[in-house]
Amino acid sequence: MANPSRGTRGMAVAPHSLASQSALAVLREGGNAVEAMIAATATIAVVYPHMNGIGGDSFWLVRTPADGVVGIDACGASAAGVSRADYAGKSAIPFRGGSAAITVAATMSGWHAAYRHSVERLGGRLPLSRLLDDAIHYARSGIAVTQSQHMNTAKKLPELQDIHGFAGAFLVDGRVPATGDVFRQPRMGATLEQLARAGLDDFYRGDLARTIARDLDAAGSPVTLDDLERHQALLRPPLELTHSKGRIYNMPPPTQGLVSLLILGQLDRLGIDRFDHLSPDYVHAAVEATKRAFRVRDRYITDPAAMQANGAPDPQSFLAASNLDAETAAIDMAKAAPWGAGKGPADTIWMGVVDGAGNAVSLIQSIYHEFGSGVVLGQTGINWQNRGASFSLDARHINTLEPRKKPFHTLNPAMALFDDGRVMVYGNMGGDGQPQSQSAVFTRVAVYGMNPQDAIAAPRWLLGRTWGQTSDTLKLEGRFPDATVAELRRRGHDVEMYPDYDETLGHAGCVIRHPNGNFEGGFDPRSDGGVAAY
């Protein structure tokens, strides 16, 4: 481990600058990338509460030079006592309230697994009390409300104001907090202090778990103490794509990590280096590859246990060269293929940290919709996710609601190990947009040689639905050339124009460590984020 008096070189990126700074502070104290990420993910849970929180799920990719890349699956299953019969007469599970808070919040188990990995594999020695210290401070002392928090609170208030505990947690003196207002979360501060004292597993098998279970029952959620006690984060081998530039990694089901890799595998075969990155050919190729990847997703991806029981192919098999060749050959570069409905929104954050030793973390953390279920637990201040609302009530659907089943997740963190020795972590929030923005960032860096900041800031596209949106159009930011927009429409795309740097296109980020030890990174100007380095 680096000398704590000198610190550990590294770089972090997050959609809120305070989270990047929390990671940087840990690196400067000699912490490793995993420790830095735990500090960042605790801070982001407090300072960007409309986007994520400890009442949600998370997925991690962790790379160490000695052990390679491992995934941490911190996804909670549905309650043992929930069933489709509970929603008789409804066409879908509600998005808000106790009847939407039907899956275990697994984020804390991901922090716990990552902390153990740091101690056991990296010699991490910073105590939890240090790693959670910034988050506790921001919860108790308050933060300045961002424009994003203000706008999302105001927009969603009509559907959230009467939900159990919401108003008391997210309104200030009974009103939507204005940008710049001081926003305090004393109950969250006390909860994080309890976790720092008792350990992160207290969330599932301790005094905190018993408090959470009582509050969930009072809110009308079917999640019980037994459901919490049964939960464990899982260490999972990641999916791996062999690319002409190196190896790319992402999470296996129940995430749509396979989609992200399928898109990049097809684009690699289409020879997109012959196109300009703002051209209609580039966007068309990416969109058509996305459609083919989404067909695989919608047919197969759900809880891996259910996939295995139903005889679904091994997800890694879709990344075989022969399969990617066949998918690519089916793309018509002159005409848009038909397109159906997307999967829907996702309210999420992505963050990345790489340290001077080459340890790297790509993390994504979510409560699903803005403010999740809207349910805020009375004693702990935890805003519970509504990820279970993504289950189908159709018994024939692959993602049908069943007891103790993991829901399909749009979440997927990405990582690349280039043949030239560079290590890159990158990702994005935003439902159907996550794999598409990942393809934009990766190809603009790896294929077009752009620096991370320019690759992220460049105009993006999004086919389908994302957070805050329900249309299935091809969304383009206004900075694309008029000729590109016209040609995409001529090829049959249903184009919808969006303003420059529109938050709808998601919050992306990227960090690269070069073989000589230098770093470069980029944050999304569509967010409140920042890059921090030492």
**DSSP one-letter string for 161-206:** TTSTTHHHHH-BTTBPPPTT-EE--HHHHHHHHHHHHH-TTHHHHS
Amino acid (one-letter) located at 72: I
Question: Of all helices (H) and strands (E), which one includes residue 242?
Answer: strand 239-243
* 86-97 core/surface letters (b: 16 or more CB in 10 A; e: else): ebeeeeebebbb
Question: Of all helices (H) and strands (E), which one includes residue 213?
Answer: helix 207-218
pLDDT score at 1: 33
> Can you read off the two tokens belonging to residue 169?
């947690």
User: What would the mean pLDDT of 321-349 be, rounded to a whole number?
Assistant: 85
Alpha carbon distance 19, 188 (integer Å) = 17
> Would you call 263 helix, strand, or coil by DSSP?
helix
pLDDT score at 278: 97
CB 280 within 8 A of CB 304: no
Which residues share a beta bridge with 230?
none
pLDDT score at 6: 60
**346 — pLDDT class (breaks 50, 70, 90):** low
Residues 6+ apart with CB under 8 A from 116: none
What is the pTM for the complete model shown?
A: 0.95
Angstrom CA distances, 52 to 66, 247, 320, 367, stand at 32, 29, 35, 5
Alpha carbon distance 410, 464 (integer Å) = 13
User: What is the percent of the chain where pLDDT is above 70?
Assistant: 96
Phi-psi region of 182 (alpha: psi -120 to 50; beta: other; left: phi over 0): beta
Catalogue the E-assigned strands of 379-459. Answer: 414-418, 423-428
Phi/psi at 116 (5° precision) = -65, -40
Alpha carbon distance 454, 451 (integer Å) = 6
CB 286 within 8 A of CB 440: yes
> Can you read off the two tokens belonging to residue 472?
């299935």
CB 364 within 8 A of CB 256: no
Which residues share a beta bridge with 242?
247
CB atoms closer than 10 angstroms to residue 332: 11
Residues 6+ apart with CB under 8 A from 24: 10, 12, 36, 532, 533, 534
pLDDT score at 466: 60
Q: Which residue has the higher pLDDT, 104 or 428?
A: 104
pLDDT score at 7: 72
Residue 5 has pLDDT above 50, yes or no: no
Alpha carbon distance 353, 121 (integer Å) = 17
**348 — pLDDT class (breaks 50, 70, 90):** confident
Residues 6+ apart with CB under 8 A from 472: 339, 340, 341, 342, 463, 464, 465, 494
Residue 471 has pLDDT above 80, yes or no: no
Question: Of all helices (H) and strands (E), which one includes residue 240?
Answer: strand 239-243
> For 29-88, how does the pLDDT look when each residue is reduced to its tens digit (9 = 90+)?
999 999 999 999 999 999 999 999 999 999 999 999 999 999 999 999 999 999 999 999
> For 97-116, how does the pLDDT look when each residue is reduced to its tens digit (9 = 90+)?
999 999 999 999 999 999 99
Angstrom CA distances, 290 to 175, 264, 430, 463, stand at 41, 9, 15, 8
DSSP state of 56: S
CB 75 within 8 A of CB 46: no
pLDDT score at 429: 81
pLDDT score at 88: 96
Phi/psi at 26 (5° precision) = -65, -40
The residues annotated as belonging to the active site are 348
Q: Which residue has the higher pLDDT, 164 or 467?
A: 164
**Choice among 189-203, 233-247, 329-343 with the minimum mean pLDDT:** 329-343
Provide the residue count of the chain. 534
CB 367 within 8 A of CB 58: no
pLDDT score at 203: 98
> For 264-304, how does the pLDDT look when each residue is reduced to its tens digit (9 = 90+)?
999 999 999 999 999 999 999 999 999 999 999 999 999 99
CB atoms closer than 10 angstroms to residue 171: 15
Pairing of β 461-463 and β 347-355: unpaired
Alpha carbon distance 43, 72 (integer Å) = 20
> Can you read off the two tokens belonging to residue 425?
């972590």
User: What would the mean pLDDT of 444-455 be, rounded to a whole number?
Assistant: 98
> Can you read off the two tokens belonging to residue 304?
């891996």
> Can you read off the two tokens belonging to residue 133?
């210290």
**469 — pLDDT class (breaks 50, 70, 90):** low
> Can you read off the two tokens belonging to residue 282?
């580039």
**222 — pLDDT class (breaks 50, 70, 90):** very high
**Choice among 3-7, 237-241, 315-319 with the minimum mean pLDDT:** 3-7
**507 — pLDDT class (breaks 50, 70, 90):** confident
CB 434 within 8 A of CB 408: no
Question: Of all helices (H) and strands (E), which one includes residue 331?
Answer: none
> For 369-427, how does the pLDDT look when each residue is reduced to its tens digit (9 = 90+)?
999 999 999 999 999 999 999 999 999 999 999 999 999 998 899 999 999 999 999 99
User: What is the percent of the chain where pLDDT is above 90?
Assistant: 91
Alpha carbon distance 294, 340 (integer Å) = 10
Residue 2 has pLDDT above 70, yes or no: no
The CA-to-CA distance between both ends of the chain, in Å, stands at: 16
pLDDT score at 325: 98
Average pLDDT over the chain, rounded to an integer: 94
Alpha carbon distance 333, 149 (integer Å) = 40
Which residues share a beta bridge with 498?
477
